[in-house]
Amino acid sequence: MTRLVDIAALPLDLTDLATREGRLALLLDAEGPLDSAARRIDRLMRGALTRARGSDAFAKLKPGQVMTLAWPAGLAAEAVDMVRLPRRATQAEAEKAGAALARAKGRAGLTLLVPVHPRLVAVLRGILLRAYEFTDHKSDRAPLPAGGVTVMTSAPEALEAPLADLRAVAEGVFLTRDLVAEPANVLTTSEFARRLTDLSALGLTVEVFDEAALDQLGMRALLAVGQGSAAPSKLVVMQWQGSDSPPLALVGKGVVFDSGGISIKPAGGMEEMTMDMGGAGTIAGVMATLARRQAKAHVVALLGLVENMPSGTAMRPGDVVRSMKGDTIEIVNTDAEGRLVLADVLWYAQDRFNPRGVVDLATLTGAVIVALGHDNAGVFSNDDALARAFLSAAEAEGEGAWRMPLGDSYGDLIKSRIADVKNSGGRFAGAITAAMFLQRFIRPGMAWVHVDIAGTAMPPGDTTLAPKGPTGWGVRALDRMIRDMFEG
């Protein structure tokens, strides 16, 4: 797994700043007195820091942006990073500042001099999450976090508990990113299940169901998706029992590669369909986070792992399959496969665990990207309280999410002439009709939230807290929701 950058909190010591190597960083505003660390650096640089802070270039910086003074006179450091961050900065601005420091840091060591700042923890979160690079398949590059980060502050002991929490969440985010980044010839269904089984070392209980067990359970919708692939379909069930309360169930789509099946996708961009297991990857990251921080909550995770490939044994448009619930499904598009996986896993989650609520995550539709772009995940729900809890947690963590509608008129679009339902309603309202399909497999009275992360799991460029590639979107929001709603 990609390693987190090491962060150590030490008492503020200004005596050896002249000889400290690597990079030095300060949190500054354009006006007001310099703090003790900045005054010491300014004296060593013979006033260069004051002159730089008074420049037009620094004045034009937005909160969270960085000005770098390279190879400063009077210091052994290779650079001094001046971060513009007012004391009343928002959490997002502070995380942006940390991310900017992580980008500037590269593989060098960094000493962050912050006597006191109310947003220091958010700055460290930005550093942890942005200092990521997936290099497992590069032969000539070392992992990014080579040099660590030393935080010198007036009360380092106050950072001990927040840093432990930050690390637990960041480890979960990195696990998700690593899983989503893996190519499909490496992260097969069997390898995915093996890596999930390895999480038992954290205290999670992990079960793996093979195809024979799935067939016995009646999961023929899930099995239909994988029947064209040589990779065996699997269901992985993970449990974290940090309390005796009835569990929250998390359900994830784990399509390790989606060719579209017989309804094959265009060649352009198909290589990115290794990320179609993003829902399952995100939930794996959440479960690892819960275990690492010893969450006082009971959470179960159910991940359907399949590969959707065209072959002589693949499901065809026009086929009819029977779900575990018993509903028959007409397959009109084999590229609408994720909802078939989720249908059976959602039903099993309720049948076995009778949970307090169900949240499913899936890179389900391109339609949600048309509707919301890459800034927001689409949120669908039959329960206002659970939906509000998730949306509030996502907002608090800076992960964009937007509630979308459900309604009987949308359900009419997936009525089938020959079966109980069809798996696609066509081009219009595609994200909504997919959610309406899933709602058929939610029992009456069961609180349920469906989150379509097709746009947020791997956007086309970098984001504030992640380089180009997988973001790990959703780990922070779900962890926050579980803290706020299901712990204590």
Catalytic residue among 40, 253, 339, 422: 339
Q: Model-level pTM?
A: 0.97
Q: 345, 362, 368: which is closest to 442 by C-alpha?
A: 345
CB 27 within 8 A of CB 122: no
pLDDT at site 145: 53
Our answer to whether residue 339 is catalytic in this structure is yes
Half-sphere exposure of 8 (CA within 13 A, CB side): 9
**What is the C-alpha separation between 20 and 130, in angstroms, rounded?**
24
Which one-letter amino acid corresponds to residue 405? P
Helix (H, G, I), strand (E, B) or coil at 13: coil
Measured distance CA(170)–CA(2) in Å, rounded: 11
Q: Tens-of-pLDDT digits for all 488 residues of the chain?
A: 899 999 999 999 999 999 999 999 999 998 889 999 999 999 999 999 999 999 999 999 999 999 999 999 999 999 999 999 999 999 999 999 999 999 999 888 999 999 999 999 999 999 999 999 999 999 876 655 568 999 999 999 999 999 999 999 999 999 999 999 999 999 999 999 999 999 999 999 999 999 999 999 999 999 999 999 999 999 999 999 999 999 999 999 999 999 999 999 999 999 999 999 999 999 999 999 999 999 999 999 999 999 999 999 999 999 999 999 999 999 999 999 999 999 999 999 999 999 999 999 999 999 999 999 999 999 999 999 999 999 999 999 999 999 999 999 999 999 999 999 999 999 999 999 999 999 999 999 999 999 999 999 999 999 999 999 999 999 999 999 999 999 96
> Could you give the strand order of the β-sheet that contains 328-330, starting from the edge strand earlier in sequence?
320-322, 328-330, 421-422
d(CA 116, CA 152): 10
Q: At what angle do helices 189-198 and 278-292 cross, to 10 degrees?
A: 10
Residue with tokens 């380089």: 467
Ordered by where they begin, the domains of the chain are: 7-155 (3.40.220.10), 168-486 (3.40.630.10)
Q: Give ∠ CA 451-406-265 in degrees, rounded to 5.
A: 55
Element of type H or E holding 79: strand 79-84
For the chain, the first-to-last Cα distance in angstroms comes to: 31
Catalytic (active site) residue 440: no
- Active-site residue, from 265, 296, 356, 403: 265
DSSP 282-313: HHHHHHHHHHHTT-SSEEEEEEEEEEE--STT
Written as one string, the DSSP assignment of 319-385 is -EEE-TTS-EEE-S-TT--HHHHHHHHHHHHHHHH--SEEEEEE---SHHHHHHTTT-EEEEES-HH
pLDDT in tens, 397-424: 999 999 999 999 999 999 999 999 999 9
Q: How far is 210 from 359, CA to CA, in rounded Å? A: 24
- Other C-beta atoms within 10 Å of 95: how many? 27
Dihedral sign from CA coordinates of 103, 105, 108, 110: negative
Q: 378 - beta bridge partners? A: 402, 452
DSSP tag of 488: -
Q: In what order do the strands lie in the sheet with 248-258?
A: 205-209, 234-241, 298-308, 248-258, 357-362, 448-452, 377-381, 401-403
pLDDT of residue 239: 98
The residues near 263 (Cβ < 8 Å, ≥ 6 apart) are 317, 333, 334, 335
